[in-house]
Amino acid sequence: MSIWLENSAKNLLPLSVEKENFSIAIKEWFYTDELIEYEEAEEICELCEKDGLRYHFQIKNEIGNILWVGSKCIEKFGITIYDENGVEITENKEAYLINQAKKKHVKDIVLKFSNCTKAGRIKGHSLKELDEYCIRNYNSEGKFDAKMINYLFQRLENEKIRFRANCFKIDLRAEESKRMLLNLKMVQYQRIKGALSASQRKYYKENSKYFKAAEDN
């Protein structure tokens, strides 16, 4: 038996109804939708004891026992996951969990952001007004456009709120969104780059006049 399976059996069986057979016991467990993100990636999986985790996902069984585990264990052991509509996730469970964690990160950052004090103005608009616009749009759409991400990241830097750019996403399907991205100057592009996918960066490099101008200099 691998050390991974050995540790997992040792940790899971005492908390399960089934005390002997690991593959029966693991079926009692499901993901509760609770997760924790840590500042440093150094947490330990309570199932297999692997360390270096940035996220803990909570699993529970029918007798109410709980373990905080890594996304890999949920994927490898096929632990049950239901989405917010009660539909079972059967494929790419790890990707699903990481995506959930990123969404939560963005939500938490927006909440912190909405609680910070807003004195000052930009181009005739109060920060309060601009911040609220940004938050309202996020709340109705669940995403940001390139211009808003640029604004938000700048504000977060000024407010000294630590965030992970790669948790934020930009949807470029609409023409208007593409135009907004291309209109970002180099310094703005550099600021939001972490939120762009490889193909979105490529798109900017190939199409923005600001990138070309910077290259020519």
Residue 89 Cβ vs Zn ion, minimum distance, rounded to whole Å:
18
Residue 48 Cβ vs Zn ion, minimum distance, rounded to whole Å:
3
CB of 71 or CB of 208, closer to Zn ion: 71
Binding of residue 70 to Zn ion (CB under 5 A):
yes
Binding of residue 9 to Zn ion (CB under 5 A):
no
DSSP annotation string for 153-168: HHHHHHTT----GGG-
Name the residue with tokens 């209109």. Answer: 183
Is 187 in contact with 153 (CB distance < 8 Å)? Answer: no
Residue 53 Cβ vs Zn ion, minimum distance, rounded to whole Å:
8
What tokens were used for 63?
Answer: 């007798």
Name the residue with tokens 């990481």. Answer: 98
What tokens were used for 42?
Answer: 């150094």
Taking CB atoms within 8 Å and a gap of at least 24, the contacts of 123-130 are: 127/155
Candidates 44-52, 102-110, 129-137, 191-199: pick the segment binding Zn ion (CB under 5 A).
44-52
Question: 87: helix, coil or strand?
Answer: coil
Tell me the helices (H) and strands (E) count for the chain, helix number first. 10, 5
CB of 70 or CB of 189, closer to Zn ion: 70
Binding of residue 97 to Zn ion (CB under 5 A):
no
Candidates 40-48, 58-66, 92-100, 161-169: pick the segment binding Zn ion (CB under 5 A).
40-48
Binding of residue 73 to Zn ion (CB under 5 A):
yes
Candidates 12-20, 38-46, 93-101, 145-153: pick the segment binding Zn ion (CB under 5 A).
38-46
CB of 47 or CB of 146, closer to Zn ion: 47
Binding of residue 45 to Zn ion (CB under 5 A):
yes
Residues 6 or more apart whose Cβ sits within 8 Å of residue 44? 50, 51, 53
State the sign of the Cα–Cα–Cα–Cα dihedral 142, 147, 152, 153.
positive
Residue 146 Cβ vs Zn ion, minimum distance, rounded to whole Å:
37
Residue 82 Cβ vs Zn ion, minimum distance, rounded to whole Å:
20
Residues 12, 47, 148, 181: which binds Zn ion (CB under 5 A)?
Answer: 47
Q: What is the dihedral of CA 24, 30, 36, 38, to 10 degrees?
A: 30
Contact residues toward Zn ion (CB under 5 A) are: 45, 47-48, 50, 70, 73
